[in-house]
Structure 1
Amino acid sequence: MTVATATLSLSALLRQPVTDSDGRRMGALADLIVHLRHDGYPRVTGLVLAVGSARVFVSAADLAALAPERVQLAVSSVDVREFRRREGEVLLSEDVLGHRLIDLSRVAFVKAYDVQLTQVLDGWAATGLDVHRRRWLSLGPRHAAHPPRDWKDFEPLIGHAESAQVRAVTGRIPELKPAQIADIIEEATGDEQDELLAQVHEDPELEADVFEELDENSKSGLFRDRSDAEVAEVLGRMQADDAADALMDLPQERRSPVLQALPEPQRTRVHRLLGYHDLTAGGLMGTDFLALPATATAADALAAVGAANTLQPQALVMLYTLAPDGTLDGALSLPQAVQADPSQTLAELADTDVVVASPGDDVIDVTTRMADFNLLALPVVSEGRRLIGVITVDDALEAAIPEDWSRRETDHHDTGSEP
């Protein structure tokens, strides 16, 4: 295959005449077909030609020349059956050009205005994207065209059901943090949400983390379209306090079936939390904590931490000691246990003057108390001083920060792109 240049612009190629091996016009270039790859650039595997009112497929192997002024095939005839895309095929013009993408470095929506194509050893690949609107009136170097950015800096949202399974495996959304994915989902359209959730669903633990980060309205909307069993599957992996909040956001007639579908012991934990108002210590607390007899040693504590792989990491920053009657006796930090002599007992290490909360304490009192005493975790105890839960600093911050502060819109002024 011969080419005039090593780098081309998709917009310069579209609608250009396509000729056969003898130079006769066969139609116009309507699109280029690529296959997405997780570890490389999408390779061009075919062309879509507009032949009259029909769209026909031509393999990239039959391409002789590709240039803005010349698209020539190495064959004299093509199969004139109507083009039907196969699973995993993506159309650069139809699926990418003019569509929204996710800028992975900024975790923000942008729009693709052009695609850069680069010659590779075995043909052509999509290697770059221009996400800046073209300016038709040039006013000097300041307004010069923006160079394309690396294709790998973006995640295309293609919205094509037949290729969704392939894209769910090759997509890079799971590389982002759960809170970032949640922010994107909240800004996405329905079709975009479906595509994002398809990628997240490949990792059930990540899916649960993302749902924990979603705002109430988005979470309720997404659960509305899922069956009771599917909702229970997600809630079963969420932290118990977040699962309880999400359960109460469901319509009343769905709460009992979903609760019953939860696996044990998650169902027991969630059921226990449902009795507390969400603006109290009981409503904020989680049921993940590590409590050991005061007679246990530092070595015992570290072994228990190592074995507690089902507890959220935030719940392990503090360890609690219990008196012989099972009541809360003391508290110590994980670094204290790590730095202590392994043979020292927790009774020797723990602070017995523990700051605690009662289940009915107001959320403002709870967050103020944690701030005043610089606490990373606040134990919640019953009237008999039995440890029933722990409020971690991330849950306290979420309760203390106004919702409109935590959902600020991203500043797009310097991107030149449209949402």
Structure 2
Amino acid sequence: MIGHARSARVRGPFARLGRLKPADLADLLEDANRTESHEILQTVHADPELEADVFEELEPESQTRLLGERSDAEIAQVLGRMRADDAADAINDLPQSRRQPVLDALPAGQRTKVLTLMGFNPSSAGGLMALDVLSMVGSSTVAEALRSAGEARALQSQALTSVYVVGEERRLLGVVTLVELLQADPAARLDEVADRDPVRAGPDTDVEDVALLMTDYNLLTVPVVDDEDRILGVITVDDVLETVIPDDWRRREPAPHPAHHMEEPGPERAPHDRPPGS
């Protein structure tokens, strides 16, 4: 997959690397030597969104090492495309002298989110939550909620499993899942179909307690609220798992994927050459 740079360019910008998932590319980077990792990153850099996804999947030590080889502006370019909670963790892991220059180089919107998250303990609900939440007032209809969900392309997909019903000052009043919306009368109001007593967590809740809430109530997301029930963000099950799974489990050799066989396209057969029944 990697090797001679000229032949790699002839094979195309991505070749096999472009067909790997971000987590697989992160594993390659963590096992690669300096030359190999440089070649992988050169290929991944051609797709900025993929590059950000790969850096999100790296172990903190590898992430800090690879980011540390870049300028402040280059680091900010990568972090600007990452999820805000992952970007906040990455900045916290940088040397103290580099944190503020990287923060200053971030796009304004991402910088505001990152600074908000850096104010919480990284292992708390506040430190892990996504700040972008799909919320609507209770008088909105099911059809309007589904339309808003379809248009919410900027939201993290893992956090887009539910619509949160809010009142004045974004106080949490209820929650309804997308599946429930799909099965409901499109003309019904959200406050008619929502769960009016949703499970919630405070920003200082330990991540282990959030994991227990998700297990007890079979949840994929948990809203995070302040002392006055104003919604601050949402914590997703993938972020919880990443935190609570022990390091020795995360670093063990993954189970092999089932074999996936694809038939090579062959020349089109004439009708009389085709097997019976085709």
Residues 237-294 of structure 1, C-alpha deviation per residue, up to 9 Å, x if partnerless? Answer: 1111001000111111111111111112111111100011111111111112211111
Q: Does 1:189 align with 2:33?
A: yes
Aligned equivalent of 2:264: none
Q: Distance in 1 between matches of 2:131 and 2:7?
A: 41
Q: Structure 1 residues 170 and 219, CA, compared in 2 at 3 Å: closer, same or farther?
A: closer
The structure with more strand, counted as a fraction of residues? 1
After superposition, residues 33-52 of structure 1 pair within 5 angstroms as none
Aligned equivalent of 1:110: none
Q: Give the secondary structure class of the aligned counterpart of 1:169.
A: coil
Which structure has the greater CA radius of gyration? 1
**Number of residue pairs aligned between Structure 1 and Structure 2:** 256
Q: Distance in 2 between matches of 1:325 and 1:224?
A: 41
Aligned equivalent of 2:74: 230
Q: Distance in 2 between matches of 1:258 and 1:170?
A: 29
Q: How high is the TM-score relative to the length of structure 1?
A: 0.59
Q: Structure 1 residues 197 and 167, CA, compared in 2 at 3 Å: closer, same or farther?
A: farther
Q: Distance in 2 between matches of 1:310 and 1:172?
A: 28
Amino acid at match of 2:45: H
The answer (yes or no) to whether the contact 2:169–2:230 under 8 Å persists in 1 is no
Aligned equivalent of 2:122: 278
The answer (yes or no) to whether the contact 2:141–2:187 under 8 Å persists in 1 is yes
Amino acid at match of 1:320: Y
Amino acid at match of 1:292: M
Q: Distance in 2 between matches of 1:162 and 1:264?
A: 39
Aligned equivalent of 1:171: 15
Aligned equivalent of 2:44: 200
After superposition, residues 274-313 of structure 1 pair within 5 angstroms as 274-313=118-157
Shift of 1:326: 2.3
Q: Give the secondary structure class of the aligned counterpart of 2:13.
A: helix
The answer (yes or no) to whether the contact 2:14–2:44 under 8 Å persists in 1 is no
Within the candidate set 197, 212, 235, 1:368 is matched to 212
Calculate percent identity across the aligned residue pairs.
52
Shift of 1:410: 5.5
Q: Distance in 2 between matches of 1:382 and 1:238?
A: 25
Structure 1 residue ranges (4+ consecutive) displaced by more than 2 angstroms after TM superposition: 160-168, 409-412
The answer (yes or no) to whether the contact 1:294–1:321 under 8 Å persists in 2 is yes
Q: Give the secondary structure class of the aligned counterpart of 1:310.
A: coil
* Structure 1 gap segments, 5+ residues each: 1-154, 413-419
User: Greater RCO between the two (CA within 8 Å, min separation 6)?
Assistant: 2
Amino acid at match of 1:298: V
Q: Structure 1 residues 398 and 224, CA, compared in 2 at 3 Å: closer, same or farther?
A: same
The answer (yes or no) to whether the contact 1:280–1:359 under 8 Å persists in 2 is yes
